[in-house]
């Protein structure tokens, strides 16, 4: 099981703080595509991904028992 933590507008759009995905392993890029399609979020190319509290690249692998954070860009003023 992969736990996905959601922040900012992603949390609001999906209506949850986290998701549990029953997937043994998946690349970061595939994970973004899966979540974007499943929840009709469109492309998540500008979302930063952290796996087990370390930033990850699209080609990195996410495995069962990992905790993934989806961190969208935030603006402030």
**Of residues 46, 42, 36, the one with CA closest to residue 4:** 36
Would you state the pLDDT for residue 24? 95
Per-residue pLDDT tens over the stretch 24-66: 999 999 999 999 999 998 889 899 999 999 999 999 999 999 9
Using pLDDT thresholds of 50, 70 and 90, give the confidence band for residue 20.
very high
The pTM score is 0.90
pLDDT at 76 over 70: no
Give the domains, in start order, of the chain with CATH numbers.
2-71 (3.10.20.30)
Dmax of the chain from CA atoms? 41
């Amino acid at each position: 099981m992969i736990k996905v933590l959601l922040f900012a507008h992603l949390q609001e759009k999906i209506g949850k703080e986290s998701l549990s995905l029953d997937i043994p392993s998946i690349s970061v890029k595939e994970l973004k595509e899966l979540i974007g399609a499943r929840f009709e979020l469109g492309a998540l190319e500008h979302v930063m991904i952290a796996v087990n509290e370390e930033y990850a690249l699209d080609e990195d692998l996410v495995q069962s028992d990992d905790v993934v954070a989806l961190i969208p860009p935030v603006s402030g003023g």
